[in-house]
Homo-oligomer: A and B are copies of this chain.
Amino acid sequence: MDAAEFRRRGREMVDYVADYLENIEQRPVYPDLEPGYLRSLIPSEAPLEPESYEDVMKDVERVIMPGITHWHSPYFFAYFPAASSYPAMLADMLCGAIGCIGFSWAASPACTELETVMLDWLGKMLQLPECFIAGTDGHGGGVIQGTASEATLISLLAAQRYKSLKEQHSYLCRPNRLQHCGPTTCSLWVFSLMLPVLLPKAHSSVERAALIGGVMMRKVPTDKTYAVGGHMLKQMVEEDKAAGFIPFYFCATLGTTPSCAFDHTTELGPICNDENMWMHIDAAYAGSAFICPEFRPLLNGIEFADSFNFNPHKWLLVNFDCSAMWVKKRTDIIGAFKMEPLYLKHENQESALTTVLFASSWVLQHWQIPLGRRFRSLKLWFVFRMYGLKGLQAHIRKQVALAKEFESLVRADKRFEICAEVIMGLVCFRLKGSNELNQNLLKKITKSQEIHLVPCQLSGRFVLRFAICARTTESRHIQQAWRHITQLTFELLQEPSH
């Protein structure tokens, strides 16, 4: 395909994309397929000779679209939103064309520098404390990670290193691998212990990070709002210290995945600081809302954190992947990853100015697991400018209002109950009655393919999560979804078994 054909096919693809998104609600939101459906629809080997573009695009409709869960359908209410907007898609096209691999400043200066400045813009939109803003001479700053899991893992690895430097008398071991170690042997060692807020409701990414980081993990119990308070953490830290462990890391969650609960960071932060524990705050979904002054108080306590992360690719209209992470001290995080073979060095790295700005602390590859990186800050730049702060705030507020609208509908129906406070765009609800009843309702909903939800578990109860996801979801979709749910409920309750 040459440039001339790309011009033609590119226009067709732009129209295909626009058509897809304009008409998405006519497609069943969730596919009706058996696993393994695709393999029989296409050849078992790549073709030897080139095929035509028309044939490929025909197969997109024949093979791919029937197997898509349409995340951008206004009837998609599962998981959390995956952000999507036209400006972000345009920026991604530009990113693909530039196609630089920004592992160092020299590999494409604009890629490193725009990212640094965009994370400053975003940090200011969230009113992060000054210490997280890079500016021209700050010690903190932000970086784009792929996902919140990577941000959590990186903060954990940085904490391990940080703690090992501070606790010169202790050894950081892998206690979870030491199950054969008798008590006598163990007493020779001081183990590191990770204490993340991995309540049963927090995100599995923390658990994964602990697994990869190879550290022990304790789950801190939550209060009746499914949030962690200071006294719970304090008690656990004391217990563990008494048992000879060193707690060194705590991950607070603002907006948990199951119910969007908010840990009490103003209580938790001082404890972490006193105990010399690294505090990471994960606000993967809810973080975007902090650009609205009315939601910003939920972020109070951030001043105690060592690192903070949220995903603009969830709720800030920036297509996946774009997870924003800030640290108070860049040097804390770089040491855990720094490698500089000759082929990645460049002349400017040696200059005084670069040394300050980019040589060590702004070589963004030292901030992440992968070596290479795409020019993802272009998406932020396009979205921030084309929506403006006010446009982004309007998007958040609209989706929160839609959640409140759905909440009202549920509350008005005595057969249902709301299971957690509705603060953002997520409503946790269930039919009053058994878990089985609710499981059956969800099965009916899934089978209908008209709307798509996923469940969660709160205090042992099977709960339905209704998340406002698509940018194009309007009141009429909420009303239609509720009519559909009540219709299926009516049918369910008619069945002899209930």
Contacts and interface: CB of A to CB of B under 8 A. Distances in A.
A105 to B, nearest CB: 6
Instruction: Specify how many copies of this chain sit in the oligomer.
Output: 2
A22 B3 contact: yes
Contact of A67 (B92, B99, B110, B164): B110
A493 interface: no
Interface in A338-395: 339-344, 346-348, 351, 353-354, 357-358, 369-372, 374, 378, 381-382, 384-391
A18 B9 contact: no
Interface stretch (A180-188, A407-415, A475-483): A180-188
A243 interface: no
Given A56-B386, A357-B36, A173 B177 contact: yes
A351 B35 contact: yes
A265 interface: no
A249 interface: no
A282 interface: no
B47 A385 contact: yes
A72 B375 CA distance: 14
A147 interface: yes
Interface stretch (A203-211, A271-279, A296-304, A416-424): A203-211
Interface stretch (A219-227, A229-237, A396-404, A454-462): A454-462
B372 A147 contact: yes
B79 A89 contact: no
B50 A354 contact: no
A14 B14 contact: yes
A108 interface: yes
A385 B6 contact: no
Contacts of A42: 117
Given A106-B69, A388-B49, A465 B16 contact: no
Q: Which 3 A-B pairs have the closest CB atoms?
A: A67-B110, A10-B14, A147-B370
